[in-house]
Amino acid sequence: MLQSRILIVEDESIIALDIKTSLLDAGYEVVAIAVSGEDAIAFAAEYEPDLILMDIRLRGAMDGIEAASEIVKLCRAPIIFLTAHADKYTLDRAKLTGPFGYLIKPFEDHNLITTIEIALARAQAEAAVRESLRQQQTFNEVRSRFLAVVSHEFRNPLNSILFSSELLERYGNAIEPDRRDLYFRRIHGAVHRMNQLLDDVLIMGEADAGKLDYKPAAMDLKQFCQELLSEIQPEETPICPVEFTYQIVGMSTSDMHPSLDRKLLNHILGNLLSNAVKYSTPGKPVLFQVRVSEQEILFKIQDQGIGIPEADLALLFSDFHRASNVKAIPGTGLGLSIVKQCVEIHGGTVEVDSIENQGSTFRVKLPIQSIPAYA
* Run of H or E including 352: strand 349-355
| Chain segment 164-189, per-residue pLDDT in tens | 888 888 877 788 888 888 888 888 87
Asked whether residue 374 carries a pLDDT value surpassing 50, the answer given is no
Span 243-264, average pLDDT: 80
Q: Where in the chain is the domain with CATH 1.10.287.130?
A: 141-208
CA pair distance 306, 278, nearest whole angstrom: 10
| Chain segment 256-272, per-residue pLDDT in tens | 678 899 989 988 998 89
B/e letters for 284-306, b = 16+ CB within 10 Å, e = fewer, are eebbbebebeeeebbbbbbbbbb
CA pair distance 44, 52, nearest whole angstrom: 8
CA pair distance 78, 98, nearest whole angstrom: 9
| Chain segment 33-65, per-residue pLDDT in tens | 999 989 999 999 999 999 999 998 888 888 889
Could you give the 3-state DSSP secondary structure of residue 121? helix
| Chain segment 307-359, per-residue pLDDT in tens | 999 888 888 888 777 788 887 777 767 788 889 989 998 999 999 999 998 99
Q: Where in the chain is the domain with CATH 3.40.50.2300?
A: 5-107
* CATH code linked to domain 141-208: 1.10.287.130
The CATH number, out of the four listed (3.30.565.10, 3.40.50.150, 1.10.630.10, 3.80.30.20), of the domain defined by the range 217-372: 3.30.565.10
Q: CATH class for domain 5-107?
A: alpha beta
Dihedral (Cα; 142, 145, 146, 150), 10-degree rounding: 180
pTM check: above 0.75: no
Q: Where in the chain is the domain with CATH 3.30.565.10?
A: 217-372
